Copies of this chain bind each other. A is one copy, B any other.
Amino acid sequence: MQILDGKKTSIDIQEELSQKVRQITNSGKKAPHLAAILVGEDGPSKTYVNAKVKACQRVGFKSTLIQLNSNVSEKELLNQVDLLNKNKDIDGFIVQLPLPKHIDENKIILAVNPEKDVDGFHPENVGKMTLGLPTFLPATPNGIIELLKRYNIPTSGKNTVVVGRSNIVGTPISILMSRKNYPGNSTVTLAHSRTENLKEICSNADILIVAIGISEFISEDMIKQDAVIIDVGIHRVKDSSKKNGFKLLGDVKYKEVAHKSSYITPVPGGVGPMTIASLLMNTYIACYGRDK
């Protein structure tokens, strides 16, 4: 069993980006510039956005954080999006989700210029992904793809099972794993809450990607010997033995599943840290293009 170390891989990617940006800016070109809009005072959203801004600083990107009151109107938020669309110094930006209920998230996502949509949430970018065209891939699927690539995991002709069909993880990663590419070329099964024979399907998977959002949902008897296990879940569970009073669990029973797998992502330190690396990779591409 080998650990797919997302933490280390994310740091590696950030160091690579940092070096490349230093070279480019030394030659007189601008640094990539990411902006983030944060609406309201939601704790986790603040934490995520701050982590993104800090990561930008670490790799030598410029970053701009725009904080808006939770009672901002949809129209005002659309105005902000429009300003960022038009601001030539800003290469990419994100609107941290979720948004307050009085704002239509889809309307905001559609208002973002697809060329600056480094979250890959705009339907035009999702469509390009589905069609196999170059685009900004959403952070979590992009992170999984990058992790598989950097550990040289064979994927062609393999049975890949994705558990969970969310718009931001399950559905896109199922599409990416089936397209004509590496990583990809897998025979992909997308399973979800309505799937009737889940245990049988999972135990047939050479690569099992779990994004069902249920703590420790996958047990040892559900996986194939030597399967590759990608655990997207992250759940805070009370644990009085820990200093901060809680522990983090994934969608997979790590302890019993790990020894049966060939590769596995831990929680924390697996898929999670890769999402920030993805966002930075997208911002780099938004600034300099795809081939540099």
List A residues at the B interface (Cβ < 8 Å). 106, 122-133, 156-157, 159, 165, 167, 171-172, 174-175, 178-180, 185-192, 194-197, 201
- From known contacts A178-B190, A191-B187, infer whether A127 and B123 are also in contact, taking CB-CB under 8 Å: yes
Closest residue of chain B to A156 (Cβ to Cβ) is B194
Chain B residues, Cβ within 8 Å of A159: 197
Residue from the list B122, B190, B195 in contact with A157, Cβ < 8 A: B195
Chain B residues, Cβ within 8 Å of A132: 167
Chain B residues, Cβ within 8 Å of A127: 122-130
A277: min CB distance to chain B, Å: 24
Evaluate contact between A171 and B175: CB separation under 8 angstroms: yes
Chain B residues, Cβ within 8 Å of A186: 194
Evaluate contact between B106 and A196: CB separation under 8 angstroms: no
Chain B residues, Cβ within 8 Å of A180: 165
Chain B residues, Cβ within 8 Å of A191: 187
Closest residue of chain B to A120 (Cβ to Cβ) is B127
Evaluate contact between A188 and B187: CB separation under 8 angstroms: no
Residue from the list B130, B171, B179, B185 in contact with A178, Cβ < 8 A: B171
Evaluate contact between B157 and A133: CB separation under 8 angstroms: no
For the complex, give the distance between the alpha carbons of A183 and B123 in Å.
22
Closest residue of chain B to A179 (Cβ to Cβ) is B165
A123: min CB distance to chain B, Å: 3
